[in-house]
Amino acid sequence: MGEKRYFQPEIECMPHDKIRELQNEKLLKQVRHAWEDVPYYRDKMKAKGVTPDDIKSMDDLHKLPFLTKDDLRKAYPYGLMGKPLSDCVRIQSTSGTTGQRVVAFYTMNDIHIWDTMCARAIVAAGGTKDDVVQVSYGYGLFTGGPGLNGGSHMLGSLTIPTSSGNTDRQIMFIKDLSATILCCTPSYAAFIGERMKEMGMTPDDIPLKAGIFGAEAWSEEMRHDIEKTMGIKAYDIYGLTELCGPGVSFECSDQKGMHINEDYFIPEIIDPKTGDVLPEGSLGELVFTTLDKEAFPLIRYRTRDITSLTHEPCPCGRTHVRMTKLKGRTDDMLIIRGVNVFPSQIETVLINQGYPANYQIIVGRVNNTDTLDVRVEMTPEMFTDNLGEVNKRQAKLVEGLRSMLGLTAKVTLVAPKTIVRSEGKAVRVIDNRKI
Ligand code: DLL
């Protein structure tokens, strides 16, 4: 492992009992802020028979009610604000792909904290002020671009705000402006890598050393593919608009989970069915309580993301708790003929058999039985019109999926470049049963 570097060592490597003290202290203030300044929270707490006086430390967290995406929808747009609009300096929003548009507000201090978290993430990926950071996440209402842009500025790195799209120009800038760190979604990184190959470029032709990829689930297999094509080390970064955006947690060089910025958030893992808090190490739904948010405090916010937490010491020296790579979301888990299926499991099978992460999962219902169709793109090297060969490949994928999922899927191999590429978050599942 290389030299250990941190953006704020005194906080990132703070002994854990000190982090706890800090969290306890901040929690009381944040709960009081929500109670006093956000009538929506006060009503929810009253309904559960709890007041800020009942919260003496984190041990009392479980007494507080959860906040759900449904609450966000009910309170849209201003109902959860903890500060007057005149104290706010920014609005960001989700794309609303799940039908629930979230609008989040930030004071100057909220932005400062968000930038700090993104700066920590860039340093954890090996970044310094001498790096050139190309931010190819979308800018605008989506938090990816503004978040990494802010972190890169705070670190003092030279920032190229390309935003997403115009892939040939992305590659030209990486090369001509000597970008050393690329920030975008993993699916866009794969697309940029694919285009580089088509242009006859190898990793030696570009100065990139690291990528900071997040905003969607991606498998270890996809990580290795991108790393090979671009000749970089690829780091995962997690976040959500409600909490700020990217940077809530990030990978260090050890890459065994993402460190959650515990000085700003308290994470919990709950059973998504019962709401019970689960012991450390259990897989369940991630819940966050913010500790410093002024404009948009969130108390026990249910993310619907599925992961587990560990406080095992990390060789990188950071003491903040780690969350494992996301397993999926409670709302992207498909139930097909009664079997729970995560798109990430399907991706693992495809990539293990040498296919690129260009695929579509189509779920339907025929005669009251669920159907699972997986369309997978062949690489140009695999592409053939020999039907026997194609059938053999399809059968092998069907078998792979059966042993991973315990389900029979229909697999169709399609020609290279027939599945639409994504410049942001990829949409891979089409569930026709919901329509
Ligand atoms: O995706 C923020 C972000 C931007 C994170 C850039 C990382 C990089 P939203 O659009 O609100 O915010 O979507 C949040 O995306 O609840 C997860 O389900 C998913 N997600 C985010 N990061 C990851 C990741 C941004 N690293 C939702 N792995 C979250 C898997 C992720 N899923």
- Residue 417 forms beta bridges with which residues? none
Farthest CA pair distance, the chain = 73
Angstrom distance (rounded) from CA 82 to CA 34? 7
Say whether pLDDT at 312 is over 90: yes
pLDDT band of residue 355 (cuts 50, 70, 90) is: very high
Nearest to 219 by CA among 42, 65, 44, 350: 350
Average pLDDT of the chain, as a whole number: 95
Radius of gyration of the chain from its Cα atoms, rounded to whole angstroms: 22
Token reading at 306 = 């599925």
Strand order through the sheet with 429-431: 410-414, 369-377, 359-366, 429-431
The two three-digit tokens of residue 216, written as one number: 């969607």
Task: For ligand 1, atom 27, name the residue with the nearest CA.
Answer: 240
* Ligand 1 centroid to residue 399 C-alpha, Å: 31
Region for 406 from its dihedrals, namely left if φ exceeds 0, alpha if ψ lies in -120 to 50, beta otherwise: left
pLDDT at 107 over 80: yes
Residue from 238, 307, 422 whose mutation best tests the ligand 1 pocket (most atoms within 8 A of CB): 238
| Structural domains present in the chain | 1-332 (3.40.50.12780), 334-434 (3.30.300.30)
- Three-state helix/strand/coil letters over 24-69: HHHHHHHHHHHHHHCHHHHHHHHHCCCCHHHCCCHHHHHHCCCECH
Distance CA 119, CA 147 (A): 9
Q: Select from 323, 285, 288, 276 the least CA-distant residue to 305.
A: 285
Structure confidence by residue, pLDDT tens digits, 232-252:
999 999 999 999 999 999 999
| CA 215 to ligand 1 center in whole angstroms | 3
pLDDT in tens, 71-89: 999 999 999 999 999 999 9
Residue-level pLDDT at 191: 94
Q: Is the CB of 305 under 6 A from ligand 1?
A: yes
Given ligand 1 and candidates 143, 261, 332, 425, which is best to mutate, with the most ligand atoms within 8 Å of its CB?
A: 143
Q: Which amino acid is at 53?
A: D
The response to whether residue 113 sits with its C-beta less than 6 Å from ligand 1 reads: no
* Ligand 1 near 343 CB (within 6 A): no
**SS3 per-residue string spanning 196-223:** HHHCCCCHHHCCCCEEEEECCCCCHHHH
Contacts of 88 (CB under 8 A, 6+ apart): 81, 105, 106, 107, 295
Residue 403 binned pLDDT confidence (cut-offs 50, 70, 90)? very high
- Please report, rounded to a whole number, the percentage of residues in the chain having pLDDT higher than 90: 88
| pLDDT reported for residue 1 | 42
Each residue's pLDDT tens digit, 287-305: 999 999 999 999 999 999 9
Alpha helices in 231-296 (DSSP H): none
The residue contributing the CA closest to ligand 1 atom 9 is: 240
- Separation of CA 382 and ligand 1 centre (Å): 32
Relative to the CA of 245, which ligand 1 atom is closest?
2
Reported as a single tens digit per residue, the pLDDT across 145-186 is: 999 999 999 999 999 999 999 999 999 999 999 999 999 999
Q: How does pLDDT run across 2-45, given as a tens digit for each residue? A: 467 999 999 999 999 999 999 999 999 999 999 999 999 999 99
pLDDT value for 97? 57
Residue nearest to atom 1 of ligand 1 (CA): 215
Q: Indicate which atom in ligand 1 lies nearest the CA of residue 305.
A: 18
Mean pLDDT of 243-272: 97
In short, whether 225's Cβ falls inside 6 Å of ligand 1 is no
pLDDT band for position 119 (50/70/90)? very high
With 0-12 / 13-18 / 19 or more C-beta atoms within 10 angstroms meaning exposed / middle / buried, residue 78 is exposed
Ligand 1 in reach of 303 Cβ (< 6 A): yes
In the predicted model, is pLDDT for residue 98 greater than 60? no
pLDDT(367) > 50: yes
Q: Specify which residues 329 forms β-bridges with.
A: 305
User: Residue of the nearest CA to atom 21 in ligand 1?
Assistant: 215
Ligand 1 and 211: CB distance under 6 A? no
Taking the CA of residue 217 as reference, the ligand 1 atom at the shortest distance is 30
